Amino acid sequence: MEPHLTEPADILKVAHHGSKTSTTEAFLDAVHPRWAVVSVGFANLFHHPHAQVLDRLSDRGIEVWRTDEHGQVRMLTNGKSWRIEAFHQSAVPAAPRIQTLLRPADPAASAQ
């Protein structure tokens, strides 16, 4: 992949539900994300995301959020920090679970 064709990004939405041929090593090395979101249905017939894609992400230390495991994933920013929220509807309709993680948008800013 030509370096001038892409720019680094903090968050990556993994292509094509994490199919085997998506999200190549060259692409990950060029974009260098810290977090990745895989939009994929639970127990889908295609067995997405593919283990090779998850390995590519893991090998680079990229934190993965999956809709089949975490439910709805929202990433919000105020320009200085990130807030990652996962909303998973439990089997009990009145008991949704919300998980929130705070992450600095700029690691250098959090060190100051």
Q: pLDDT band at 89, cuts 50/70/90?
A: low
Enumerate helices (H) and strands (E) in the chain, giving the number of each.
4, 6
Q: Is the pTM of this model over 0.75?
A: no
Q: Is 30 helix (H, G, I), strand (E, B) or coil?
A: helix
The whole-number pLDDT of residue 112 equals 46
For the cut 90, the answer to whether the pLDDT of residue 37 exceeds it is yes
For the cut 70, the answer to whether the pLDDT of residue 90 exceeds it is no
Q: pLDDT band at 25, cuts 50/70/90?
A: very high
